Amino acid sequence: MFLHKEGITALTGVAMEEVTGDQVKLTDGTRLPFAFAVVVPPFVGQDVVRATPGLADDKGYVPVEDTYQSKAYPEIYAVGIAAQVPVPWQTAIPIGIPKTGFPVESMAKVAARNIAAAVKGEPPISHKEFGEMAAVCMMDAGNNGVLILADHMLPPRKGGVMIPGPQVHAMKVAFEKYYLWKTRHGYVRLP
């Protein structure tokens, strides 16, 4: 909905084959001319992670339990983009999907509680599936944006709302200024 409103066409199920000085050629033969382009490569993980037998899949994502412990090495934790999480539309093939600040922070809190328990010689005390975490996201897009709120990160959801508009950009700028201020002054316990 947001992409359509901004006049952006999303192309799915196709990869880039070649980037030249003025166009991107896709694997389906489509050519996308450009005057300026930004190409973001796929996440491939760190060499040390991919080189550890059984730790990560071929794309560099670490399969994790709901404690954010590696399934192969329980003493290793992975959160954020590094964590491979199951998704409802591909339950047979868990993948690494983009994870924004709020869910990464939630995953890290679960991992931190479990690391503290492990240091004390206790079993994991905190569990939270990625898909069950609340979704709170402010997507900024220049002078516009979308606020996304939902009871669960992934479907099925009981409730969710998307609120587009320039106020989201203002909220994002205000949040960034607040976050930097509290971090610079050591107020890490503030929300």
Q: What is the CATH number of the domain that holds 106?
A: 3.50.50.60
pLDDT at residue 11, as a whole number: 83
Report the number of distinct structural domains present in the chain.
3
In the chain, beta strands by DSSP E: 16-19, 23-26, 31-33, 62-63, 83-84, 135-141, 144-150, 160-164
pLDDT at 136 over 90: no
Domain boundary among 111, 133, 155: 133
- If you search the block for the tokens 């006049």, which residue do you land on? 7
What amino acid occupies position 39? V
Regarding whether 129 and 49 lie in a shared domain, the answer is: yes
The edge-to-edge listing of strands for the beta sheet with 31-33 is 16-19, 23-26, 31-33
Domain boundary among 108, 133, 158: 133
pLDDT at residue 94, as a whole number: 52
Contact criterion met (CB below 8 Å) for 137 and 100: yes
Mean pLDDT score of the chain: 87
Domain boundary among 93, 109, 133: 133
pLDDT at residue 188, as a whole number: 80
Residues in the chain: 191
pLDDT at residue 142, as a whole number: 78
CA 127 to chain centre: 19
% of the chain residues with pLDDT over 90: 44
pLDDT at 107 over 70: yes
Q: Which residues contact 109 (CB under 8 A, 6 or more apart)?
A: 126
What integer is the mean pLDDT of 111-136? 94
More confident residue, 94 or 149: 149
Strands 83-84 and 62-63 come out as: parallel
Regarding whether 118 and 100 lie in a shared domain, the answer is: yes
Question: pTM of the full predicted structure?
Answer: 0.72
pLDDT at 6 over 80: no
Q: Which residues contact 17 (CB under 8 A, 6 or more apart)?
A: 25, 26, 27
Give the phi and the psi of residue 25 in degrees, each rounded to 5: -100, 130
pLDDT at 123 over 90: yes
Q: In this predicted model, what pLDDT tens digit does every residue of 55-84 receive, in sequence order?
A: 998 888 899 999 999 999 999 999 988 898
Count H helices, E strands: the chain?
Answer: 4, 8
Regarding whether 56 and 109 lie in a shared domain, the answer is: yes
pLDDT band (50, 70, 90) for residue 95: low
Omega before 164 cis (within 30°)? no
Q: In this predicted model, what pLDDT tens digit does every residue of 10-63 receive, in sequence order?
A: 887 888 999 998 999 999 999 999 998 888 777 777 888 888 999 998 888 899
- If you search the block for the tokens 């999907």, which residue do you land on? 97
Regarding whether 129 and 52 lie in a shared domain, the answer is: yes
Query: What would the two tokens of residue 125 be?
Result: 């005390």
- In which domain, by residue range, is 17 found? 1-41
